């Protein structure tokens, strides 16, 4: 199961269970709360009516007096009241009065007159001086058929209880209010649950997106792509990214040193052996002057090769040791290409090579390090010159051409160097950007194998890439592809 789904499922289970119990409590409390409110109002009503009725009870005129007339008028009264969302169109109180024996002496409905109510809780408890109330179901098992009865005592002038007045109200009259309250709570609960689910989705996406950035960073590190850990809002994940970067740097540092020592040792063997052999020959007393000059020249060439090797190793080490540019500034590529070509033109012409520069029609600017970009283009030009010299050997051709172009496409600037040399063998194309990998030059010597590795590192530091392609008519097209500013 995916991490995002696990997070969402866990969050939703917790929120869903909590919401279920909260809604259950709310819904369960609606009905009792409404009934408590009704009972509280009925207590006030019963006591008010008891005050109005008790004088007539003492006088014995309750059934024909003003109280009975008022109750009869109340029952005939029409009403239409909009109570918030509830339309009330009937008056629902019934009233009965019992004497000290619990016998009904007044009933607003006329149905219970003369009956013995002494065993009902509302009458029995009130006659004993306690609070009397009851809820009786008309239909067994049906809560909506329940009828509330709330009683108040009738007293004489000395305060003695002389009867009981009970106010009656069916629960069914307030059932619509209870049902609507329950539906409203459930509806809002479902909306709350949906909102919680949306929050869960967003939180899951946010966390998995952060984790995904860490995964991408780890995969890039595995491929050897130089990059920095992502900046994450989650402090723990940000710390994890920094820890991964530290671990990566430590591992790469060990591998880097090991690989460099092995490769550098291998590359140093050949020039050192040549210098050692030449020095031994030069020590011979009877060595002809011509041979002495040749071996001395060989020592100088190998010394220069060693110097170039060390310089390029240091340059490459600096590039590989940094994940990004230290000094980035706008660089105009036409001017950079013109400077680089000018620095190579004299050496190229001495070897019979003509370099043609084709700048872009309009300035092309990238954000980068001008010195590094010039170094990369210089290495591409040096390779093109070596390849062109090699193509002139054994032919009657006197001059070879190299074209340098500055172009751009929709999103990238392109520095292109095109030579007409022998090209690169197919087996070597996948490895040309590897450290210390080289092919024989025109003079039979191998290069340092670091020039194109430096080009690749410069391109990577600028967020671009380097590419070499054999051309159908011969030669190689080398490209430095850089993101536009």
Residue 37 vs residues 30, 31, 40, 43, 61: alpha-carbon distances, Å: 11, 10, 5, 10, 33
Confidence at residue 238, expressed as pLDDT on a 0 to 100 scale: 75
Q: Which of 25-39, 50-64, 88-102, 432-446 has the lowest mean pLDDT?
A: 432-446
Confidence at residue 263, expressed as pLDDT on a 0 to 100 scale: 53
* Residues β-bridged to residue 402: 355
Separation CA 457–CA 454 (nearest Å): 5
pLDDT at 165 over 70: yes
Domain match, 170 and 229 both: no
**In the structure, what pLDDT confidence band is assigned to residue 264 with cuts at 50, 70 and 90?**
low
The beta strand positions in 281-438, using DSSP E, are: 329-332, 353-358, 365-368, 400-408, 412-418
**In the structure, what pLDDT confidence band is assigned to residue 11 with cuts at 50, 70 and 90?**
low
Q: Is the distance from CB of 88 to CB of 192 less than 8 angstroms?
A: no
The answer to whether residue 427 sits within a structural domain is: yes
Q: Is the distance from CB of 395 to CB of 413 less than 8 angstroms?
A: no
Domain match, 352 and 474 both: yes
The answer to whether residue 265 sits within a structural domain is: yes
Task: Report, as an integer, the average pLDDT of 110-134.
Answer: 95
Domain match, 380 and 447 both: yes
Q: Residue 106: how many CB atoms within 10 A of its CB?
A: 23
Note the pLDDT tens digit of each residue in 294-346.
777 777 766 776 776 676 666 666 666 665 666 788 999 999 999 999 988 88
Task: Report, as an integer, the average pLDDT of 85-111.
Answer: 91
Domain match, 103 and 13 both: yes
Please give the residue range of the domain that contains residue 233.
224-323
Q: Residue 373: how many CB atoms within 10 A of its CB?
A: 24
Nearest to 366 by CA among 414, 315, 410: 414
**Most confident of the following: 160-174, 222-236, 425-439:** 160-174
Nearest to 357 by CA among 370, 371, 343: 343
Confidence at residue 480, expressed as pLDDT on a 0 to 100 scale: 92
CATH number where 129 lies: 3.30.450.20
* Residues β-bridged to residue 470: 476
Q: Is the distance from CB of 413 to CB of 429 less than 8 angstroms?
A: no
CATH number where 298 lies: 1.10.287.130
Task: Report, as an integer, the average pLDDT of 189-196.
Answer: 79
Phi-psi region of 102 (alpha: psi -120 to 50; beta: other; left: phi over 0): left
**Most confident of the following: 43-57, 191-205, 264-278:** 43-57
Domain match, 13 and 158 both: yes
Of 259, 288, 323, the residue that ends a domain is: 323
**In the structure, what pLDDT confidence band is assigned to residue 120 with cuts at 50, 70 and 90?**
very high
Using a pLDDT cut of 70, give the percent of the chain over it: 80
The answer to whether residue 273 sits within a structural domain is: yes
Query: What strands, in cross-sheet order, belong to the sheet with 104-107?
Result: 104-107, 94-98, 161-170, 146-155, 133-137
Task: Report, as an integer, the average pLDDT of 115-126.
Answer: 96
Domain match, 161 and 252 both: no
Domain match, 62 and 41 both: yes
Q: Euclidean distance between the first and final Cα of the chain, in Å?
A: 42
**Most confident of the following: 70-74, 181-185, 328-332:** 70-74
What is the DSSP track for 357-379?
EE--SS--EEEE-HHHHHHHHHH
Q: Residue 381: how many CB atoms within 10 A of its CB?
A: 25
Domain match, 133 and 148 both: yes
**In the structure, what pLDDT confidence band is assigned to residue 443 with cuts at 50, 70 and 90?**
low
Domain match, 354 and 311 both: no
**In the structure, what pLDDT confidence band is assigned to residue 136 with cuts at 50, 70 and 90?**
very high
**In the structure, what pLDDT confidence band is assigned to residue 25 with cuts at 50, 70 and 90?**
low
Domain match, 26 and 117 both: yes
The beta strand positions in 320-399, using DSSP E, are: 329-332, 353-358, 365-368
pLDDT at 137 over 80: yes
Q: Residue 157: how many CB atoms within 10 A of its CB?
A: 8
Domain match, 94 and 43 both: yes
pLDDT at 145 over 90: no
Note the pLDDT tens digit of each residue in 383-407.
888 888 877 765 655 567 899 999 9
Confidence at residue 336, expressed as pLDDT on a 0 to 100 scale: 92
Pairwise pLDDT comparison (453 vs 26), residue with the higher score: 453
Domain match, 354 and 287 both: no
CATH number where 364 lies: 3.30.565.10
Q: Residue 89: how many CB atoms within 10 A of its CB?
A: 9
Structure letter (DSSP) for residue 279: H
pLDDT at 12 over 60: yes
The answer to whether residue 272 sits within a structural domain is: yes
Task: Report, as an integer, the average pLDDT of 3-30.
Answer: 68
Separation CA 328–CA 371 (nearest Å): 10
- Contacts (Cβ under 8 Å, ≥6 apart) of 403: 355, 356, 358, 416, 417, 418
Q: Is the distance from CB of 123 to CB of 110 less than 8 angstroms?
A: no
Number of domains in the chain: 3
The answer to whether residue 186 sits within a structural domain is: no
Of 180, 203, 233, the residue that ends a domain is: 180
Separation CA 58–CA 52 (nearest Å): 12
The answer to whether residue 404 sits within a structural domain is: yes
Tokens of 87: 């339309």
The answer to whether residue 253 sits within a structural domain is: yes
The answer to whether residue 417 sits within a structural domain is: yes
Of 305, 323, 341, the residue that ends a domain is: 323
């Amino acid at each position: 199961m995916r991490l995002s789904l696990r997070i969402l499922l866990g969050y939703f289970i917790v929120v869903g269970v909590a919401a279920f119990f909260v809604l259950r409590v709310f819904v369960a409390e609606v009905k009792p709360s409404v009934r408590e409110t009704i009972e509280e109002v009925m207590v006030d009503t019963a006591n008010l009516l008891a005050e109005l009725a008790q004088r007539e009870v003492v006088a014995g005129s309750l059934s024909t007096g003003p109280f009975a007339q008022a109750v009869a008028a109340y029952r005939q009264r029409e009403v239409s009241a909009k109570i918030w969302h509830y339309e009330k169109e009937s008056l629902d109180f019934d009233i009965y009065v019992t004497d000290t024996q619990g016998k009904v002496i007044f009933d607003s409905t006329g149905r219970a007159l003369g009956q013995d109510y002494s065993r009902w809780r509302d009458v029995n408890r009130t006659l004993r001086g306690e609070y009397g109330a009851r809820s009786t179901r008309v239909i067994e098992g049906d809560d909506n058929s329940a009828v509330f009865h709330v009683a108040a005592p009738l007293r004489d002038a000395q305060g003695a209880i002389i009867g009981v007045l009970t106010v009656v109200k069916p629960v069914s009259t307030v059932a619509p209010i209870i049902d609507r309250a329950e539906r409203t709570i459930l509806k809002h609960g479902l909306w709350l649950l949906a909102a919680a689910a949306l929050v869960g989705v967003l939180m899951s996406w946010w966390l998995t997106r952060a984790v995904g950035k860490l995964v991408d960073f780890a995969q890039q590190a595995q491929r050897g792509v130089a990059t920095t850990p992502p900046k994450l809002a989650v402090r723990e994940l940000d710390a994890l990214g920094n820890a991964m970067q530290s671990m990566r740097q430590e591992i790469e540092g060990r591998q880097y040193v090991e690989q460099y020592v092995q490769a550098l040792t291998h590359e140093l063997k050949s020039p050192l052996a040549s210098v050692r052999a030449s020095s031994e020959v030069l020590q011979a007393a009877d060595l002809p002057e011509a041979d002495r000059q040749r071996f001395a020249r060989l020592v100088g060439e190998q010394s220069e090769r060693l110097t170039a090797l060390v310089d390029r190793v240091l340059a490459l080490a600096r590039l590989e040791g940094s994940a990004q540019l230290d000094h980035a500034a706008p660089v105009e590529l036409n001017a950079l290409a013109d400077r680089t070509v000018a620095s190579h033109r004299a050496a190229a012409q001495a070897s019979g090579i003509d370099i043609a520069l084709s700048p872009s029609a309009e300035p092309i600017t990238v954000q980068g390090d001008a010195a590094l970009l010039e170094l990369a283009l210089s290495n591409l030009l040096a390779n093109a010159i070596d390849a062109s010299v090699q193509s002139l050997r054994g032919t009657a051709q006197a001059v070879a051409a190299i074209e340098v172009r500055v172009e751009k496409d929709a999103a990238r600037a392109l520095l292109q160097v095109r030579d007409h040399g022998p090209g690169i063998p197919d087996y070597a194309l996948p490895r040309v950007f590897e450290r210390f990998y080289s092919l024989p030059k025109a003079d039979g010597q191998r290069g340092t194998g670091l020039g194109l590795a430096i080009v690749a590192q410069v391109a990577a530091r600028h967020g671009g890439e380097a590419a070499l392609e054999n051309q159908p008519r011969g030669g190689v097209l080398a490209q430095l592809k850089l993101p536009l500013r």
